Amino acid sequence: MLILGVDPGLTRCGVGVIEAGASRRLSFVHVDVIRSSPDTPQDLRLLKIYNGLVEKIERFVPDVVSIERVFAQENRSTVLGTAQVAGLAMLAAAQRGIPTALHTPSEVKLAITGSGTAPKKQVEYMVMRILNLNEPPKPADAADALGQAICHALRPAGAIQGGEREEHLTPAQRQWAQAVQASKHGRGPQKRDM
């Protein structure tokens, strides 16, 4: 299965492609950053990013596009641009009949490191290790896009729906699955002794 991850941004939009094979073996395929200049009118910036996303989707023909779920930050103009780019990624995928998934940064951190509050450097390091890269992808938007794709590949719901039993999940996947179940029942995440 090919997964295209998108880290939406108006100035830098990260795009990462991985292949998820048997036994959840993940392989690096491609990473890039689509850039637009802040000196360009916003409609033209969005067009440039949309065209870049379309080019990547048509080049790699992924089975799914995984996009960072936008959340409110203090800087509203940044959130607005990010949300617009996330919408473009969803549109580009939908126009080609490719399903999309949304994962928050905390879900990505949890899936990759086992902690939803892991620092960015730790996530970059784990992306490098998981995909057997010689160095972390640069800039951070590139690593974040690959993280999105990895998160989708390792999501517990997909593993369990695929007929695999819980004992085949990694500790991070098991913790994530427990947190999802707890949230469905109105409970917060359970603390564990270390």
Known binding-site residue numbers for Mg(2+): 7, 68, 141
Q: Give yes or no for a contact between 14 and 86, defined as CB atoms under 8 angstroms apart.
A: no
Which positions are annotated as active-site residues? 7, 68, 141
Q: Give yes or no for a contact between 172 and 112, defined as CB atoms under 8 angstroms apart.
A: yes
